[in-house]
Structure 1
Amino acid sequence: MVSRIDPLSILYNTLNSKLGKEDEDKIRILVGGQISKRDLEKLQNPAEIFKHLEEHGHIGRDDLDFLKEVLKTIDRPPLIKFVEECEESLETYHGMPRSKIPRLSSGHNAGYGEASSVTSLAPTHRDMATATPDLGGDTKSQQDHKESIADCIKKENR
């Protein structure tokens, strides 16, 4: 069975390796309105903070604006550029342009007990990645997607 690495996890871990303790302290202050103090205390590094923000809908494959704003506020322009380059490589997923992939409405219970459109119930990129059956290897488009993320990271490490 082939294990799949989430491209955003790679992004978060790369950012984590470039951020110092002072940056982390600033990030913790900046995200205090989005993450409870109790949850923030459990998160051990910026990568975990970013993942938590993703899990709660503040950032994601199709919206890295909040992440870029945090990096702008802590005055890390090279990291913003890196995120923007990675964002470009996320423009397609499974060979489909990002603009054509339907999004869920925000919130964990989207579509349950509230009026919603068919589009709001359609899967997001994350849902599609999780639902993709593992047939022992990646499809060509999945491999291309991983390679574009890898290229993005190689550019940052130069």
Structure 2
Amino acid sequence: MSLLRKIRDTGRVAEDAPPRPTENPPPAAQELGGSVQVRHIDAGSCNGCEIEIGNAFGPVYDAERYGARLVASPRHADVALVTGPVTRNMAEPLRRTVAAMSQPRLVVAVGDCALNCGEFAGGYGVEGPVADVVPVDLQVPGCPPKPDAIVAALRTVTGR
């Protein structure tokens, strides 16, 4: 059934919430409670992951209904959502941004480039994967990862 037909029949765009995540959250996630403030950091990506993060927080996937909200400052954030391989110019700003976040904090590496540099591996301007620069608590593989995988990772953190 097409999305347009579904909207006409039901008046709803989004599906009902899937069941709660069964994965064990990272230890710091248990201290955060049921909601988190998320700071997105582009460490050198091609913007494919950013499009999917935008979709994850858009009206269809709606990550906010599971307690994850985007914020503009690392001082307000509990979770750093990092995309792309870390470039030489972004290594120090990434370290400083994560250091500016209060404890407990989590770092989520989103996309294959953040996990292993993907297509950019061995490039002159590439420092390395996110885990080589800051400690990573959770990984979301994919090139780019689907919005539902991003939402599932955030649900693991919030427990909702």
| TM-score > 0.5 by shorter chain | no
TM-score by length of 2: 0.29
**Greater relative contact order (Cα 8 A, min sep 6): structure 1 or 2?**
2
- Greater per-residue strand proportion: 2
